[in-house]
C-alpha cells in the first residue's frame, strides 16, 4: 500500500474502528478476493465490535492498494458514505495495466468509479452479451468530449439495465471518454414531484461539499439549471446514465448539453431533446443457447449436464431474463417429478 493511502487509513483509524460493523464489509472484500476466510475468522473471534473493526483495519494496513480500494468500495456499498469520504483522498491511482481482477478483467479504478457513481453490480447469474456491449461502447465513444445521447431500447426484462452497466465496466472507455466519472439514476415512471425528488437527489450527489448551494432546488426548472451548472463546472466529461425512462417530458429535465446513456422501452422518448442521438436496439429473446447458459449458471451445473426438461423450461419462460427467478425455481422443482 502506498504511503498516501496508508496515512489516510491511519489518520481516520479511530473513527472507522468506532463506527463500522465488519460482517458485511468482510463479505465484500472476500468477494473481491482481498480477504481470506481464515482472516475473516480471525476478525470474528474478537470479542467486541470495535475490536473486530480494529483487527480488520490492522489487516488492511498490511495489504496492497487494491485492498484499500476494496475496503473503500465496501464502505460505500454498506451505507458508510461519511466514512468512505474520509478515505477518498487516499485512494491510490491505479494505472490501466494494474489492479485487474483475474476473473472479470475489471480494474480497481473501474470498481471505484462505478461504485461512487451508483452503478449496479453484476447480477448473481450473469451471461455475457459481447456483441451488444461492444455496440453500446462504440456509440458511447462517439460522445467523447461532445454532448449527445445513446439510447438502449427494448421490451421490459430484455436486459437493458444490465447491458448499460456492463458497457461502462471498461477501463479504457472511462479513462478516455468519461474521466469525470459516471452517475447512475434509476428514473422509472414519475410524476412531477417524483421527478423533482430524483433531480434533487442527483444534485446533492454531485455537490457533496455544497460549494454551489446549501439548499435543494425548489422546482424542476431550478433543478435543471442546477444540474447543468454542476455537470459543466464540477463534473465535465462525465457520463449520466438514466435507467428506465418512460416519458419524453421527464427526459427534457436532463437535456443540458451533456453526455447521456439511457435505457427505455420507447426509443421515441429522445425525440424531444437536442443533440446527436445514437440507438442500440435489444431483442426481447436471448435465444435457446443463451437461455440454457443462464439456466446452467442458476443451478450450478454444466450446460451439457442439464436434463432434457431444461429445454421445456426455456420454452416456457420464453424470455429467460424476464422470468422471475422464483417462478424459474418452481419450474426447476418439476424436473424430478413424474
Whether pLDDT at 52 is above 70: yes
Average confidence score pLDDT of the chain: 81
Strand residue runs (E) in 89-238 = 148-153, 182-188
**C-alpha span between 161 and 54 (Å, rounded):** 38
The model's pLDDT over 65-99, given as tens digits with 9 standing for 90+, comes to 888 888 888 888 777 888 888 888 888 765 444 44
**Start-to-end C-alpha separation, the chain:** 59
The model's pLDDT over 171-230, given as tens digits with 9 standing for 90+, comes to 989 989 999 999 999 999 999 999 999 999 899 888 877 777 778 889 999 999 999 999
The model's pLDDT over 147-169, given as tens digits with 9 standing for 90+, comes to 999 999 988 777 899 899 999 99
Q: Which residues contact 34 (CB under 8 A, 6 or more apart)?
A: 63, 66, 67, 70, 71
Whether pLDDT at 105 is above 50: no
Whether pLDDT at 102 is above 50: no
The per-residue pLDDT for 223 is 92
Q: What is the pTM of this model?
A: 0.62
DSSP codes of every residue in 11-76: HTHHHHHHH--HHHHHHHHHHHTSS-HHHHHHHHTSSSHHHHHHHHHHHHHTS-HHHHHHHHHHHH
Smallest Cα–Cα separation from 245: which of 180, 194, 173, 170? Answer: 194
Looking at 50-54, 97-101, 141-145, which range is the least confident one?
A: 97-101
The predicted model gives 36-51 an average pLDDT of 90
Whether pLDDT at 328 is above 70: no
Whether pLDDT at 295 is above 50: yes
Amino acid at each position: 500500500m502506498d504511503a498516501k493511502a496508508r496515512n489516510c487509513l491511519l489518520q481516520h483509524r479511530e473513527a472507522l474502528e468506532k463506527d463500522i460493523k465488519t460482517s458485511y464489509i468482510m463479505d465484500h472484500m472476500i468477494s473481491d478476493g482481498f480477504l481470506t476466510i481464515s482472516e475473516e475468522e480471525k476478525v470474528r473471534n474478537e470479542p467486541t465490535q470495535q475490536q473486530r473493526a480494529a483487527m480488520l483495519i490492522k489487516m488492511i494496513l498490511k495489504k496492497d492498494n487494491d485492498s484499500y480500494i476494496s475496503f473503500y468500495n465496501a464502505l460505500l456499498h454498506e451505507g458508510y458514505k461519511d466514512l468512505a469520504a474520509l478515505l477518498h483522498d487516499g485512494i491510490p491511482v491505479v494505472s490501466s495495466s494494474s489492479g485487474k481482477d483475474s476473473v472479470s478483467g475489471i480494474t480497481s479504478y473501474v470498481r471505484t468509479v462505478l461504485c461512487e457513481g451508483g452503478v449496479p453490480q453484476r447480477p448473481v447469474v450473469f451471461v455475457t452479451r459481447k456483441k451488444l456491449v461492444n455496440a453500446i461502447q462504440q456509440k458511447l465513444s462517439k460522445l467523447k468530449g461532445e454532448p449527445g445521447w445513446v439510447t438502449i431500447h427494448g421490451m421490459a426484462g430484455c436486459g437493458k439495465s444490465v447491458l448499460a452497466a456492463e458497457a461502462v465496466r471498461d477501463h479504457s472507455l472511462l479513462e478516455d471518454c468519461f474521466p469525470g466519472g459516471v452517475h447512475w439514476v434509476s428514473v422509472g415512471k414519475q410524476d412531477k414531484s417524483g421527478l423533482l425528488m430524483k433531480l434533487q437527489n442527483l444534485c446533492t450527489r454531485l455537490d457533496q461539499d455544497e460549494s454551489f448551494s446549501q439548499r435543494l432546488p425548489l422546482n424542476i426548472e431550478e433543478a435543471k439549471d442546477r444540474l447543468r451548472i454542476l455537470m459543466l463546472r464540477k463534473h465535465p466529461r462525465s457520463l449520466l446514465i438514466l435507467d428506465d425512462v418512460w416519458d419524453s417530458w421527464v427526459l427534457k429535465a436532463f437535456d443540458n448539453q451533456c453526455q447521456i446513456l439511457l435505457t427505455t422501452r420507447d426509443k421515441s422518448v429522445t425525440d424531444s431533446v437536442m443533440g446527436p442521438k445514437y440507438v442500440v436496439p435489444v431483442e426481447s429473446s436471448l435465444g435457446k443457447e443463451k437461455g440454457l447458459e443462464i439456466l446452467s449458471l442458476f443451478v450450478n451445473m454444466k450446460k451439457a449436464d442439464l436434463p432434457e426438461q431444461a429445454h421445456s423450461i426455456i420454452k416456457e419462460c420464453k424470455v429467460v431474463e424476464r422470468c422471475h427467478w422464483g417462478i424459474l425455481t418452481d419450474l426447476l422443482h418439476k424436473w424430478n417429478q413424474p
